[in-house]
Amino acid sequence: MDTLFAAALTALWLGIMTSISPCPLATNVAAISFIGKRVEKTGSAIRTSLFYVVGRLVTYVALGVVIALGVLSIPGLSHFLQKYMSMILGPLLIGV
């Protein structure tokens, strides 16, 4: 339970730090400017804001999943390379 709390706190802190770093900050300002010109249509502005937030959320979650799966596959790749690299390397070097 304590580990889960630490992981959630770390994710929250990294999210806050990411949101105020220069590139996402500029993107957020641009998005607010884009959404702000539709302020007279409240429903449209809220809907556009929600699409923006959900899009960013899905992108960061997908990126996190891809990175986590990549890191988790390193031991399998290492085992494969240790087992078969000597068989692959000979013909590869002759071919090159």
Helix locations, 20-73, DSSP H:
22-36, 42-72
Pair 24, 59 in one domain: no
Nearest to 29 by CA among 40, 44, 39, 19: 19
Pair 66, 83 in one domain: yes
Domains contained in the chain, number: 2
Pair 53, 19 in one domain: no
Pair 47, 93 in one domain: yes
Burial class (CB in 10 A: 0-12, 13-18, 19+), 28: middle
Pair 96, 49 in one domain: yes
Number of residues written out for the chain: 96
Identify the domain containing residue 23 by its residue range. Answer: 1-37
Q: Mean pLDDT of residues grouped by 10 in the chain (96 residues)? A: 83 82 83 82 84 89 88 88 89 90
Nearest to 30 by CA among 57, 61, 52: 52
For 50, the token pair is 């929600």
Predicted pLDDT of residue 95: 92
Predicted pLDDT of residue 33: 86
Pair 54, 94 in one domain: yes
For 7, the token pair is 């992981």
What is this structure's pTM? 0.61
Pair 3, 33 in one domain: yes
Specify the DSSP class assigned to residue 94. H
Pair 25, 52 in one domain: no
Predicted pLDDT of residue 58: 93
